[in-house]
Structure formats: C-alpha cells, structure tokens
Amino acid sequence: MSDIWIMRIGHRPERDKRVTTHVALSSRALGAKGIYVDTPDPVLEENIRSVVDRFGGDYTIKTGVTWKEAMRGFKGKVVHLTMYGERVDVALPKIPRDEDIMIIVGAEKVPIEVYQAADFNVSVGNQPHSEIAALAIFLDRFTEGQALYADRGGKLTVVPNERGKTVVDLSK
C-alpha cells in the first residue's frame, strides 16, 4: 500500500487542540504517514513527535501548511471526508491502493475549492458526527485493518489483554 497523508483544515489551537491531536493520533495508529495542519502550532507538533518517539513508527507532522500548499505538487489522489460526499462503501472501490492519497479533514467550514479539487468527496454516514470518527472508519476500511496491531518499533508497546494494562518498555 502507498503512503497516506492527512491535511487538517481549520485548526484553531485554542479551541481544537484535543480534536486535532486525536485526528493525528488516530491517523498514525491507523496507518497514515503524516499530517499537515494549516495553522502553526508548535505545541501540537511537540506532542505528536513525543508519541512517535515513545511508540515508534514513521509519522511526521508539519503545521502552518495551507491546503493549497499541501496539494500543490502532491502526486496522488485527494480524498475529502465530508458528510456531503459519496457513500464510503461506494467510493472505496474507486480509490486506488497503489497511489499515495491525501485525506482532507476539516474542522470548520471547508472552502468550496477543496470539494472541487478533491478526486473523491467521501461521506462516512449522513448524520453530523466527529471528524475523528469519520477518519478512523475510513482509514480502517481503506487499509482493511492492517495497521491496528502493526509493530512500529517503538520504545513502548501496549500488549492487548482482556483485563489490566500491559505496557512493555523495550528500551530497557
């Protein structure tokens, strides 16, 4: 499978820090290569890099990147997640797995140019809901769940078990 990139539009650091953090963490956990965020936010960058440092993987974050900058020169397909798009189950078979994709995730009103520039406008349900949920469902279906328990070579790893919490520190 090719690389998956996320473009977060409309991030407001004072209001959206938890939501954008969860967009980044969910995309990382579900197989994305990295995220661009339109608003500069060094605290967000530091937090995500800290997770990557501890739990591993090859995930990058860059803030202060407009959607136009991110899309300029992008050599792949652009998927815009929106309530108004084509149903995810109808759109998924059309999205190539052998090309990089950029997934646009909005926080506030997304410019009409994004709808027009996207190769695919995809809806995950037709009711108001979280962009985190839409991204997670889309990525899980697109990657067929392959990233859920992938080893990312981190210092820490969580071992799933029925009860309790098992975190193994591999750096020792």
pLDDT of residue 103: 98
CATH architecture of 4-146: 3-Layer(aba) Sandwich (3.40)
pLDDT of residue 149: 86
Q: Is residue 19 within a helix (H) or strand (E), and if so which, with residue range?
A: helix 13-29
Residue spans of the chain under pLDDT 70? 1
Q: Where are the alpha helices (DSSP H) in the chain?
A: 13-29, 42-55, 67-71, 88-91, 112-117, 131-142
pLDDT of residue 15: 72
Residue spans of the domains in the chain: they are: 4-146
Answer whether 86's CB lies under 8 Å from 57's CB: no
pLDDT of residue 1: 67
Q: What is the pLDDT of residues 22-70, one digit of tens each?
A: 999 999 999 999 999 999 999 999 999 999 999 999 999 999 999 999 9
